[in-house]
Structure 1
Amino acid sequence: MKLAASRTQQRGQTLMLMTVAIFLMVLLLLAATRMGEHARRQWYLQSVADNAAHSAAVLLSRQLNLAAVLNRALIGNQIAMAQWLGLASWLSMMNAGLKVAAKVLALIPGLQGIAISAYRLLTKIEHFGDQVIRGLILFNVGVVKAISLTQTALQLAMTAETPLSVGQVVDAHDSNLSWSLYHGGGVVPFPLLWWQFSTLRSTRKRKHSDDFRQLTLKSRDPFTRDRSYRWASVVFLRMQKAGGSALQTPANGRWNWNALDSLSVHYRKYGFFGKWKEGLPIAGSARGVFQPYWASRWQPGSYGNAFDINPGSSRIGFYSMRSYRIQQLPFSYWSLGRGSRYGANAVVVAIKDSRSGQISHARAEVIFSRPLSVFPRADNAQEKDNLFNALWEPQLVPLTAADKAAIVTREFVIDG
């Protein structure tokens, strides 16, 4: 009797232990399920944050690339003005040279009529070309000013579009999610630092004008930069052509291009040997967008060293310069800001699920990259970041230690 009661008591204890074990297993299963749901939700929020941050960086890189393209367009239109001006100057010099040739050929029977007809034809071409070139220069001046005026509006519009794009990306995943957009560091809201990353410069300021002038002069094509070469040469005589362009950038920011071309006969100083010297100035011509740039006469290398090569004909051309009287107004361009960026080139997106209280963060940056293996520079140097080559691209990167510290501090302050 006692043995049966003992067995019954043992079975009761085993049942209680099994109940407790099953209960614990159910709790562990529920905890594992809950942890799995929490992990899956966290991965999902991280994916949303990554997509939103990358979307913002894509728009910012497009904004920088657009600024680079517009800056290039400003330079291109400036070079186009120099090209039209050089073409007008060259045609005028050819016309003046043909006039001299006509006077010489008039002494040869049978060639006088041909020379005069050629001179008249070239005179008509020169007159018509001047009218066309004046219109083209006016067009380029208008394009430069239009680009200058629209740059700021486009930059503002694209900056305002960045938070809207982040919101659209988040809503496309889950409209119940809330989000915040910060700069790198996770403290300063976007776009407070973005305006320090790129700055608007104007040719009204001497330094800004000089910086853009250097880039423009280095971008000139061979025809615009230097039209100096030898036309013909015999034992002790040769015909030397010289010409090029010069750019005046006065303090008022109104740029002025000049172009000059000259042609002279040179001879050797001692007959068959010695230095070549200008003997007979044949023709000289010059054109200016607004007015003659007098200081350019004494600048080293100006007009393809025309005043050193053909001093006589170059003076004739310069003092008879014809100006189109087109005044180019000051213009603006974008450049990278100076000093530390403090994370201005990066964005940090915070995504919060109000139902679960989970938060996820992602960081993306805009970087400048010119791979030397694809299209290297002429000097094979690594190009620094700038707003004159559209080589900006977005990059998703891990959070930095500063980002994490700022995020923890901000959440502690907000959540108490």
Structure 2
Amino acid sequence: MNGIKGGRCLPRQSGSVLVYCLGVLVLIVLSVSYSFNASRISGEKTRLQNTADAAAYSVAAVETRDLNFKSYTNRAMVASQVALAQSVSLISWARFVTRFAENISMVTSAFPPLRVFFTAVSKGISVAMKSVEVAVRLAINAINFIEQTLSIAQMSHHVGTLAMAEDIFNEVVKRNDPDVDRSISLSSAPFIGAYLKGHATFTKRYSPNKVTRTNKARKWNGVYGEHKKRMDEFRLVTLESRDLFSKNRTYDWVGSFTVLPKHTKLKIRKTGGSELTGSARSPGKLGSYYTWSAMDTMSVQKKRYKCRGWSCKWRSWKEVLEVGWGATATGGEKKFSFFRGLGGRHRYASSYRTNPRASLWAAFDYHRLGESGRFNGLRAFYDIKQDGLVSEAPGIALLLTKPHSSGAVKTLKHTGFGAGSKALDLEAQGGFLNNRLAALSQAVPYFSRPNDVSVFRRWDKLREYGNLYNPFWQPRLSELENRSTMLKLAATLL
């Protein structure tokens, strides 16, 4: 209806809302586009972070594999040494049995009915024991070769880990996100320097060849003390790992009994054991790492009940008759003084102290029969360099980037619709750093022995810290160490 003003009719007002709707539509499109870009960036950022985490975890897994390989090979080398101890013990025992049979045959030779039987038994035992000795000697040479192979394998794997880590890094990044800029990779100077430092300093190769008289005189470099400490630890682990036959073969073959007169007691005492000692051939090489030796003796012992002054008591056991003996050593040790010198009075389960004369006969027989295979001593091995309780190894920190301008991160800015639109440029509003997406990640190997699996659980149920004798190293992602330093490095590289 037209209005009336001053007696005149006003015209009807009309117009279009198209301009208004168009403006609202543009705002909606821009909002949707902005949300799309933000969603794309968030998705690509998540994908890039997952790729960085996967790459860091994979590199840590390679490092973990190296630590576990060193643990397996250290255990294998200890097992090889135990096998050597068993081998020399078996040869020593075989020589003892042979001598024991010969002595029994000699004693019974005065009795014709027994002479034929025991002579045949003695010859049969001698032939059998010689066959055993030949077989064991070959086994000792084979074990010596295996020990050398394990030591070389450790060093090769330690060096090859770096190349494996680089290959794994590139493969994981390529498969997870092909658009990642791999010009900044594990081999980039800042990252490889940190990774090399951690890889080289956490473990170290220790060698008995460093425990020498020359290095001992050079006290300022600390080489002698450092290597001797770790080699002594390895030797102790080896000796504690021996089985009972190798460690101690001492017992009463015939228990104590009283004879007439009643103030005298007799028994037959068997002694024997194996030892890892030094080298008589190389006086410049210090440390007890070079020769496995073993001794077995048996003697009749007696003790008497005596009174001295006001004191009456049973006196100590004394050797009265040697029954059997045998001894051997590896590495060409042919000096008679070897068993008494480097061997020691209290070694071989105290053979020299318990059966001194039989022990001397055993040493004489060894001088006549000779060595039992070649052994080059304990080999170089890897161990954790740091003293104290360790549960985590140095990890790897990674930086991955993805360029925006090349279209790796597809937003509407790089489409025909959004070309040239400042409204869709999230970089201008702080969405990118130097036109790139970036992600940081870090992963480390850590030591954790399972307590919920009976086969792996410690018998004492105590916590076990990191070492290179049990292969329980695992990789895991961790918080970034020196985060501010890493961010500065990222800003420098981007």
C-alpha displacement at 1:273, in angstroms?
5.5
Is the alpha carbon distance of 1:112 and 1:40 closer, same or farther for their aligned partners in structure 2, counting shifts above 3 Å?
A: same
Q: Could you tell me how far apart the structure 2 residues matched to 1:219 and 1:159 are?
A: 33
Is the alpha carbon distance of 1:369 and 1:299 closer, same or farther for their aligned partners in structure 2, counting shifts above 3 Å?
A: farther
Q: Could you tell me how far apart the structure 2 residues matched to 1:344 and 1:412 are?
A: 27
| Match of residue 268, structure 1, among 303, 313, 336 | 303
1:88–1:129 Cα contact (<8 Å) kept: yes
Q: Secondary structure at the match of 2:209?
A: coil
**Corresponding residue for 2:72?**
69
CA-to-partner distance for each residue in 1:300-351, whole Å, 9 max, x for gaps? 4x1112223222212321343232363516631111122799x962112222
**Corresponding residue for 1:238?**
267
**Corresponding residue for 2:81?**
78
What amino acid is the match of 2:270?
Answer: K
C-alpha displacement at 1:83, in angstroms?
0.9
CA-to-partner distance for each residue in 1:51-99, whole Å, 9 max, x for gaps? 2122111111111111111112222222211111100100111111112
Residues 293-332 of structure 1 mapped to structure 2, 5 A cutoff? 293-298=339-344, 300=346, 302-321=347-366, 322-324=370-372, 326-328=374-376, 331-332=379-380
2:88–2:372 Cα contact (<8 Å) kept: no
C-alpha displacement at 1:275, in angstroms?
4.2
C-alpha displacement at 1:24, in angstroms?
2.4
Matched, 1:347 2:396: yes
Is the alpha carbon distance of 1:293 and 1:211 closer, same or farther for their aligned partners in structure 2, counting shifts above 3 Å?
A: farther
CA-to-partner distance for each residue in 1:348-378, whole Å, 9 max, x for gaps? 2222112332112222111111134433334
Count of aligned pairs between the two proteins:
407
C-alpha displacement at 1:131, in angstroms?
2.0
CA-to-partner distance for each residue in 1:101-136, whole Å, 9 max, x for gaps? 223333444221110001111111222222222211
C-alpha displacement at 1:293, in angstroms?
4.3
What amino acid is the match of 2:487?
Answer: V
1:186–1:407 Cα contact (<8 Å) kept: no
C-alpha displacement at 1:26, in angstroms?
2.3
| Match of residue 441, structure 2, among 357, 362, 371 | 362
Give the RMSD, CA atoms, in angstroms. 2.9
2:277–2:343 Cα contact (<8 Å) kept: no
**Corresponding residue for 1:376?**
457
C-alpha displacement at 1:32, in angstroms?
1.2
What amino acid is the match of 1:295?
Answer: G
1:345–1:366 Cα contact (<8 Å) kept: yes
Percent of residue pairs identical:
23
2:345–2:352 Cα contact (<8 Å) kept: no
Q: Could you tell me how far apart the structure 2 residues matched to 1:201 and 1:96 are?
A: 42
1:148–1:331 Cα contact (<8 Å) kept: yes
**Corresponding residue for 1:283?**
324
Is the alpha carbon distance of 1:107 and 1:19 closer, same or farther for their aligned partners in structure 2, counting shifts above 3 Å?
A: same
- Mark the structure with the bigger radius of gyration: 2
After superposing on structure 2, the runs of 4+ consecutive aligned residues of structure 1 that deviate more than 6 Å are 2-6
Q: Could you tell me how far apart the structure 2 residues matched to 1:84 and 1:140 are?
A: 10
Residues 190-269 of structure 1 mapped to structure 2, 5 A cutoff? 190-206=195-211, 207=228, 208-236=230-258, 237-250=266-279, 252=285, 255-269=290-304
What amino acid is the match of 1:238?
Answer: K
Q: Could you tell me how far apart the structure 2 residues matched to 1:140 and 1:324 are?
A: 13
What amino acid is the match of 1:231?
Answer: W
2:87–2:136 Cα contact (<8 Å) kept: yes
What amino acid is the match of 2:96?
Answer: M
Structure 1 gap segments, 5+ residues each: none
Q: Could you tell me how far apart the structure 2 residues matched to 1:232 and 1:88 are?
A: 23
Q: Secondary structure at the match of 1:110?
A: helix
C-alpha displacement at 1:296, in angstroms?
3.9
2:138–2:373 Cα contact (<8 Å) kept: no
Q: Could you tell me how far apart the structure 2 residues matched to 1:334 and 1:114 are?
A: 56
CA-to-partner distance for each residue in 1:148-206, whole Å, 9 max, x for gaps? 223212221222111111101111123331243399x9794433431111111111122
Judge which range, 125-134 or 371-380, deviates more.
Answer: 371-380
Structure 2 gap segments, 5+ residues each: 5-9, 212-227, 259-265, 307-312, 410-435
Judge which range, 274-283 or 70-79, deviates more.
Answer: 274-283
Q: Secondary structure at the match of 1:388?
A: coil
Q: Secondary structure at the match of 1:177?
A: coil
What amino acid is the match of 2:248?
Answer: D
Is the alpha carbon distance of 1:64 and 1:297 closer, same or farther for their aligned partners in structure 2, counting shifts above 3 Å?
A: closer
Is the alpha carbon distance of 1:168 and 1:324 closer, same or farther for their aligned partners in structure 2, counting shifts above 3 Å?
A: same
Is the alpha carbon distance of 1:170 and 1:391 closer, same or farther for their aligned partners in structure 2, counting shifts above 3 Å?
A: same
CA-to-partner distance for each residue in 1:270-305, whole Å, 9 max, x for gaps? 2996543322221121101021344344354x1112
2:85–2:292 Cα contact (<8 Å) kept: yes
Q: Secondary structure at the match of 1:411?
A: helix
1:182–1:189 Cα contact (<8 Å) kept: no
Structure 1 length normalisation: TM-score? Answer: 0.88
What amino acid is the match of 1:193?
Answer: G
**Corresponding residue for 1:97?**
100
Q: Secondary structure at the match of 1:261?
A: strand
2:303–2:318 Cα contact (<8 Å) kept: yes
C-alpha displacement at 1:228, in angstroms?
0.7
Q: Secondary structure at the match of 1:298?
A: coil
Q: Could you tell me how far apart the structure 1 residues matched to 2:11 and 2:23 are?
A: 23
